[in-house]
Amino acid sequence: MFSLKIPRAADQVNILYQLLMMVTIIFYFRSVPFAPFFIFFHIVVILLLVWLTQIEKSPFVKIVKDFNPVLIIPLNFTELHYLVHNVNPVDFDQALIIIDKAIFGVHPTVWLEQFSNPILTEYFQIIYTTFYFLPIILAIILYNRGEFENFHYFVFIMVFGFYASYIGYFLIPAIGPRFTLDHLQTEAVTGLWLTEGIRHTLDTLENIQRDAFPSGHTEMTLLTMFYAWRYSKKYFWILMVVGNSLILSTVYLRYHYVVDVVAGIFLAILVAAFARPIYNRLEEFRNRK
């Protein structure tokens, strides 16, 4: 008799997020562009994750099953352009600007102009693009070592962390200082050869996102650094340079307010604190007879 297998913990969270987005789209159906398409997309993702759990493990299928979040998460992020502002049209930028100014007495992105340098800008812009690849690299390291329990747990961390930040965008939408404080900046952040091309490519791929608060770049980079410290010390020491540079780049390049970075730090702490008991409970559910 056929018995339906329950997906791994990471896939369970992935499915839950797809369901949450489907309910959100249905509730705001008239406000969301391409609503039928996005509902269909989420149904397909759910069916794919359930189907992958049931089929036999050929080497190719196993890789797809293990690494499917690498493809699904960016698609979910792209969708946010059409969802966040139409679901919650009130931007919180002004509140975030006031908080930053109250803490520092200046607008940090404006203050940082005095340190602007084409070489530094080029470096930070290149580093900024590594954000999505840093956790993937750690996952690949664990996979190649055959540390599959650590691998699956870290993939769960990736899924949990990314989707936690996405929910934050719905709760506190903000477009970021690149747009809101541009009138106070006296000069553009310019690099050498690659900066403009990278920035244009990112803007084209991401569209305009309300993804400033919390800083997902900070959250996911810190989570990757934390688990690299536990699982791969050599990679951790690389991340000490790359990761910290990436976090600094989010403010220097005017993508984030400092309060976004602080929120990203707290979110990373919360994810790390609650991930293990949630993971264990979901895995127990998966393995029940």
Q: Where are the domains of the chain?
A: 89-287
pLDDT of residue 2: 55
Structure tokens at 132: 């999505």
- Nearest of 167, 173, 166, 256 to residue 218 by alpha carbon: 256
Indicate the burial class of 190 (C-beta count within 10 angstroms; 0-12, 13-18, 19 or more): middle
Determine the pLDDT at residue 13.
97
Q: What are the pLDDT digits (tens) for 37-47?
A: 999 999 999 99
Both tokens of 240, joined, read 């000490």
More confident residue, 55 or 224: 224
Q: Which helix (H) or strand (E) holds 257?
A: none
Q: Is the CB of residue 243 less than 8 Å from the CB of residue 135?
A: no
pLDDT over 80 at 73, yes or no: yes
Give this prediction's pTM.
Answer: 0.94
Q: Specify the range with the lowest mean pLDDT, choosing from 2-6, 8-12, 39-43, 236-240.
A: 2-6
**How sure is the predictor about 119, in pLDDT bands with cuts at 50, 70 and 90?**
very high
Is the peptide bond prior to 214 cis by the omega test (within 30 degrees of 0)?
yes
Query: Which letter does DSSP use for residue 1 in this model?
Result: -
pLDDT value of residue 48: 95
Token pair of 145, please?
A: 């070592």
Confidence of residue 289 (pLDDT cuts 50, 70, 90): low
The CA angle 250-177-107, to the nearest 5 degrees, is 90
Using the predicted structure, report yes or no on whether residue 274 has a pLDDT greater than 90. Answer: yes
Tokens of residue 81, six digits:
């352009």
CA dihedral over 68, 220, 126, 92, signed as positive or negative: positive
